[in-house]
Amino acid sequence: MEGQKILLQNFNESDAGAVFAYRSLPEVAKYQYWEPITKEEARLFVNDYSHPRFDVSFKWNALAIILKENNELIGDCSLRLVIDKVEVGCIIAPKYQRQGLAKEALGQLINYCFANMAIDEVYGITDSKNTASIRLMESLYMLKVPDFEEKVECKDCLCVEYKYAVKKSDWKRQLGGFDRET
């Protein structure tokens, strides 16, 4: 998948160092269920996601986000098919945040899902304190699901999670269509 500034592509073995560089940072792991990762965990992450299977329900898949101008891996987008919906997420290295790159990457992923999968909704779940994630989802026409507010324990803290979703018809109306990719 290709956007103006980024590419979404499969991971390869040589990506482990770049994944470690951003996923090992406490500020990146802050709102995640996982802790900052080790070099070995980065290697396993890259290995696990080098051949994504988007058609397998309840299994997370991830794609590398590559900055086109210098071919640098700057983050990852993930998705998992949940029956007839897709849950998505996005992580960008701090150096590349607040530049619209997460919006472009997640927008490409959402567009791919609607164009290529038999689904009617894409959603994301975030900690209620993660204002950057909330702004990102709202910028992609995702609306807060009013009857979803989960209280969960994460990293020994009680958190409240929000769900944001966009329907296929609303996405199509906003963008005027889909770019189908195989």
**What pLDDT does residue 122 have?**
98
Contact predicate 163/152, CB 8 Å:
no
The pLDDT score that the predictor gives to residue 40 is 97
Q: CA angle, corner 116, sides to 114 and 122, nearest 5?
A: 30
Give the integer Cα–Cα distance in Å for 166 and 54.
Answer: 19
pLDDT at 157 over 90: no
Model pTM?
0.90
Per-residue pLDDT band for 176 (boundaries 50, 70, 90) equals low
168 φ/ψ sector (left φ>0, alpha ψ -120 to 50, else beta): alpha
Please say if the pLDDT value at position 156 is more than 80.
no
- Please answer whether residues 164 and 121 qualify as being in contact, where contact means their C-beta atoms are separated by less than 8 angstroms: no
> What single-letter amino acid sits at 178?
F
Q: Identify the CATH class of 6-175.
A: alpha beta
Q: pLDDT of 60-119, one tens digit each?
A: 999 999 999 999 999 999 999 998 999 999 999 999 999 999 999 999 999 999 999 999
- pLDDT tens per residue, range 122-150: 999 999 999 999 999 999 999 999 988 77
Higher pLDDT, 155 or 31: 31
Question: For residues 120 and 158, which has the higher predicted lDDT (pLDDT)?
Answer: 120
Q: What is the pLDDT of residue 182?
A: 39
